[in-house]
Chain A
Amino acid sequence: MTYDFTRRELVKTLGVFGAAAALGTLSRPSRAQGDPIRLGLIAPLSGSQEIIGRYQLAGATIAVNQINQAGGVLGRQIELVTRDDKAAPAAGVAAAKDLAGSGVNLMFGILSSGVALAVAPTLADDKSVLVISAASANELTHEQFTRNLFRTSDHAYARQRALSKLVLGDFPDVLKWTAILPQTAISASNWDSFVDGMSQYSAEAGKPAEITEALWCKFGATDYKNEIAQLMRSDCEGLYCGVYGGDAVTMFGQAAAYGLTKKFKVLVDPGSEFIIANAMGKNTPPGLWSGFHWYHGAYEGHKINDDLYAAYVKATNDPHPAGYVGETHASVLAYASAIQKAGGTETEQVIAALEDLEFDSCKGMRKIRKEDHQAICDLNFVQFGPDESDQGWKVTSHRIIKDEGVSEEPTPGTPIVLKYKKA
């Protein structure tokens, strides 16, 4: 009943995704050296988040091919097995069980925090390891901590606090902040983390920030005019736009007539990456700072970064890889170095090797904390603006924030404690 994702299937699928040409030349996994090591990618490969799943698949595919071309791990080739979680918890659990049932005990990927939270408690029973490559809910390394789960990507608390550090550094006088947020748990958690950082860093600088109650809107709404009208009456100078992805495109499109982007001095976004600029072209909101999982332009000269970028562009003809490409790539690299270190692929061996693992990735060194299994890594941000080019926008600035005191102390099993509660 199992159906494995062989190289032929992979090429076929990537062909659908416009990448067949580049992959046609890759070496065939050689089975003579022993069974391949099978890694399971769980990603939204259909449904509303498919756009992101495709990035995750691309990053993972590139990493696997690079490792195989270089001779594999422990002399064995890596084989990528993929499963679709549709960004839905039930489908995610089914995918993880399906992988475990077909003997794939090492998994990675997962975009949606809801899926990650659903899969996490099933891992120990199935003796599987899951390395999260995107889902950013703080709970995964706190109250829902399980020793079978690791996260090589950044988490909400670190990223949003780093964002507050960035804007305070650049705009020390913009201290009145408000937010527009969709009614989702991750948005609330993002905003709380941003407020926590904003309050701490502004107090340390001697000028405490003033936070105004956030404005809530419906997730997936088609009309934001009432919210925009309310924002236009606000006396704040900084706007945290928690509405993300396609919703953010809709909101900024509708806000143009009101002059919303001119009203606020600083606009930030937790992580829409290229989505807003790619969709809006010359109507891209000027000056918007966006959180990134990985921004290739910030690491030019770093070999892993450059090779990944080149491979991605060659495979897809898309010059703007989203950070998700880098994150699944990094998760595969983490597995490769853990397996190398452990000398095998047994669950317990790999868990032990991943704890305290330091590995190089497209955004430099990452260190997985032994206590809560959270990776400490760079936080990337990009600022966008419209221009006269064909694509209509450009990256006006980018920044790397090092995680030095940005993340919390590890406290697996207990909820994250915000140092600064909202007023």
Chain B
Amino acid sequence: MSIRLRRTMLFVPGNNTSMVVNAGIYPVDSLMFDLEDSVALDQKENARFVLHEALRTINYQGKELIVRINSLSDGMGQMDLDYLIPLGKVAIRLPKTDSAQDVIDCEEYIANIEKKYNMEVGSTKMMAAIESANGVLNAYSIAHASKRLIGIALGAEDLVTDLHTKRSPSGLELNFSRSMILMAARSAGISAIDTVYSNLNNMEGFKAEVEMIKLLGFDGKSIINPRQIQIINDVFSPTEKEILDAFEIVSTMEKAKKIGIGVISLHGKMVDKPIIERAKKVLEIATVTGQLARIEDNYNE
């Protein structure tokens, strides 16, 4: 099975029928249909219905489908789960996760629905969004709270309010939180997804932030508008040179193995295990993005 990339996670308001219907056309890795903050209170029922019908009938062309549910604290999140879990098509993003217990409570509720509908228990995947000081400090236990978790995500807008600060172009205020979340995700072997960048008109600032979170080690970023897709995909996709170098490393290593050599030197540099691991990862990503096929094809011509 090929790896699942989560470079781009596009927010789609659940009650905007046109956007829900057409969301599949954009070249994103994941679609995140929202029932929470982007849907007004009197629109929740409508949004659940629109989303249910869309997920039932529309082919989203293999994209990962995630629904951000409402909080379980006032019963709305439970209604979302009752509606959507039986479809067996979506992962659930739990908002405002403060502790491992929040994940466990949600998981229990999901498991009951799965049993009721004779679904495999554990088949519904989850994500947890961390949006508070408590959530950040508990990131490690949250990331390890359930086997259902495929990733944890930073939700910065609520977080900076909790931290008594605001978002800045440098992102200094999020340094600790981003690092905590990344460490926790890597420790649990799940994805780390960065928060949204809400100024659509500052594409340069957006690109700088994407480059920064890639350097930190994040898998990708939530986005609010399709105009942001290209920059993330560009930054997160390996360059042709990176792919060719990786190809050379892996193929040289395989040849060396055949004749019984464990460590090789390539262009005067020692190639050891971490370098080979990274090279394999690059090739894995390039396979999923289709870049490898294109490059191989060009060289065959």
**Chains A and B belong together in one complex:** no
Hey, which bits of chain A sit against chain B, CB under 8 A? none
